[in-house]
Amino acid sequence: MFPSRLRSLLFAPAVRPDLLVKMPATGADAIVIDLEDATPPDAKDTGRQNLLRLAPQLASEVPVLARINDPSTPWYRDDLQALTDSLCGVVVPKVEQRSGLRRVTDDLANLGLNLPVVAGIETALGVADCRELLAEPTVAAAYFGAEDFIADMGGVRTASNREVEMAQSQVVLAARIAGVLAIDQIVADFRDDERCRTECLNARAMGYVGKLCIHPAQVAIANQAFMPTDEEVERAKRLLAAYAQATAAGVASLAFEGQMVDEPVAAQARRVIAQAGSVAASPTDS
Ligand code: COA
Ligand code: MG
């Protein structure tokens, strides 16, 4: 089953079985075995064999996805042969055309596989057209890939993230309209915990539900950052109690702890409580 929350989506190369077997213990909400850019062209076959061999055993511990090479590449056909129903979904990178997504869905169906897609939006064309791409029924989630996007743009990747803000916003907006989960870009500098935390919090503020992770340290940071804090939950409860009292008295906007509260502010507070509740109800939470 496709995971209902994806605070952390941890990647490892399909050619690194030593890393793959460590992934369930990281506490990631889901993991991705990568046949695309983390697996070099002359090792794609080895990667596929590892995927076939390890996916079923890993899937007994954590939701597992495979990232295949996109349909325009010479590796795509063979990648499909390595997919099984132990996976909960397929990650399709560099999505640019609806026809590509439909081809993946049709090819999976011909193999007897009914796997939802996580669409990688990480090229100029993909970002420009993401609203129609994410509306495809096969898409369950989307990620924004900042590194590929800037490579395609011919830009320069900086720690400020200013160069990707527009694209990052477009992707989360399109995901919202399509009703799919939005997952934010990787932090390549995997030793920089502070950057990871800050990026997670910024992404959450925009409506992203999780982060692509490349290292176990990032998983713990993302799992925490994409959840409301205890203080947020407590404040939301107080706010909603005050709001209920005010509306019962015929007033729909009130002053609460120095801030104006009305229906949209109350709606945000309800969402904080719902998010916190979804984790309390989860047996797999670490
Ligand atoms: N999944 C599971 N375990 C991982 C991991 C991952 N993605 N990355 C690192 N680890 C493990 C290491 O094996 C090590 O385990 P140990 O404590 O048992 O020795 C521990 O976490 C700490 O790793 P560390 O030494 O800090 O990093 P490293 O130098 O071994 O690896 C990378 C760094 C970047 C090479 C590695 O994290 C990696 O390959 N990440 C995935 C890259 C990827 O998939 N990219 C494509 C998607 S964008
Ligand atoms: Mg990429």
Average pLDDT over residues 9-26: 98
Which structural domain range is residue 263 located in?
Answer: 230-281
Ligand 1 atom with the smallest distance to the CA of 147 is 48
Q: Given a cut of 70, is residue 123 above it in pLDDT?
A: yes
pLDDT the model gives residue 251:
94
Q: Which of 203, 225, 247 is the last residue of a domain?
A: 225
CA of 269 to the centre of ligand 2 (A): 35
Q: Which of 225, 242, 268 is the last residue of a domain?
A: 225
Q: Whose CA is nearest to atom 33 of ligand 1?
A: 215
Average pLDDT over residues 170-192: 98
> Do 87 and 36 fall into the same domain?
yes
Q: Is residue 75 part of a domain?
A: yes
In the structure encoding, which two tokens stand for residue 247, read together? 């509306």
Q: Is residue 1 part of a domain?
A: no
Q: Whose CA is nearest to atom 31 of ligand 1?
A: 215
Q: Is residue 31 part of a domain?
A: yes
Ligand 1 atom with the smallest distance to the CA of 36 is 46
| Pair 40, 69: CB distance under 8 Å | no
pLDDT the model gives residue 204:
97
The residues that bridge with 13 in the sheet, in sequence order, are 34
Q: Across the chain, where does the E strand assignment appear?
A: 8-13, 30-34, 64-67, 89-92, 117-121, 139-144, 181-184, 210-213, 254-256, 259-261
CA of 246 to the centre of ligand 2 (A): 50
What does the alpha-carbon distance between residue 286 and residue 26 come to, in Å, rounded to a whole number? 9
The residues that bridge with 143 in the sheet, in sequence order, are 120, 183
Q: Is residue 271 part of a domain?
A: yes
> Do 276 and 181 fall into the same domain?
no
Residue 193's CB: how many other CB atoms inside 10 A?
Answer: 14
Average pLDDT over residues 70-83: 98
Q: Given a cut of 70, is residue 281 above it in pLDDT?
A: no
Average pLDDT over residues 103-114: 97
> Do 214 and 267 fall into the same domain?
no
> Do 212 and 111 fall into the same domain?
yes
Average pLDDT over residues 89-98: 98
pLDDT tens digits, one per residue of 239-280: 999 999 999 999 999 999 999 999 999 999 999 999 998 654
pLDDT the model gives residue 279:
55
The rounded percent of the chain whose pLDDT value lies above 70 is: 97
Compute, in degrees rounded to 10, the torsion defined by CA atoms 245, 249, 253, 256. Answer: -40
Q: Whose CA is nearest to atom 32 of ligand 1?
A: 215
Average pLDDT over residues 195-199: 98
Instruction: Compute φ and ψ for 56, nearest 5 degrees.
Output: -60, -40
Q: Whose CA is nearest to atom 21 of ligand 1?
A: 216
| Pair 204, 226: CB distance under 8 Å | yes
How many C-alpha atoms does 64 have within 13 Å on its Cβ side? 27
Q: How many separate domains does the chain show?
A: 2
CA of 14 to the centre of ligand 1 (A): 12
> Do 169 and 252 fall into the same domain?
no
pLDDT the model gives residue 277:
84
Please name the helix (run of DSSP H) or strand (run of DSSP E) that holds residue 237, with its range, or none: helix 230-248
Q: Given a cut of 50, is residue 179 above it in pLDDT?
A: yes
CA of 148 to the centre of ligand 2 (A): 5
Tell me the pTM.
0.95
Q: Is residue 37 part of a domain?
A: yes
> Do 102 and 237 fall into the same domain?
no
> Do 221 and 237 fall into the same domain?
no
pLDDT tens digits, one per residue of 41-64: 999 999 999 999 999 999 999 999
The residues that bridge with 212 in the sheet, in sequence order, are 9
pLDDT the model gives residue 8:
98
Average pLDDT over residues 91-112: 98
Ligand 1 pocket by C-beta < 6 Å: which residues? Answer: 10-13, 19, 22-23, 26, 34, 37-38, 186, 190, 214-216
Radius of gyration over every alpha carbon of the chain, rounded to an integer in angstroms: 20
In the structure encoding, which two tokens stand for residue 108, read together? 């999976």
> Do 20 and 134 fall into the same domain?
yes
How many C-alpha atoms does 211 have within 13 Å on its Cβ side? 30
Ligand 1 atom with the smallest distance to the CA of 13 is 44
Q: Is residue 2 part of a domain?
A: no
95: nearest Cα among 171, 187, 181? 171
Q: Which of 191, 209, 225 is the last residue of a domain?
A: 225
pLDDT the model gives residue 278:
67
CA of 17 to the centre of ligand 1 (A): 11
Burial string for 86-121 (b: 16+ CB within 10 Å, else e) reads: bbbbbbbbbbbbeebbebbbeebeeeeeebbbbbbb
Q: Is residue 138 part of a domain?
A: yes
Average pLDDT over residues 227-245: 97
Domain CATH code at residue 183: 3.20.20.60
Ligand 1 atom with the smallest distance to the CA of 10 is 7
Instruction: Compute φ and ψ for 12, nearest 5 degrees.
Output: -150, 150
Q: Is residue 155 part of a domain?
A: yes
Q: Whose CA is nearest to atom 19 of ligand 1?
A: 19
Strand 30-34 and strand 8-13: pairing?
A: parallel
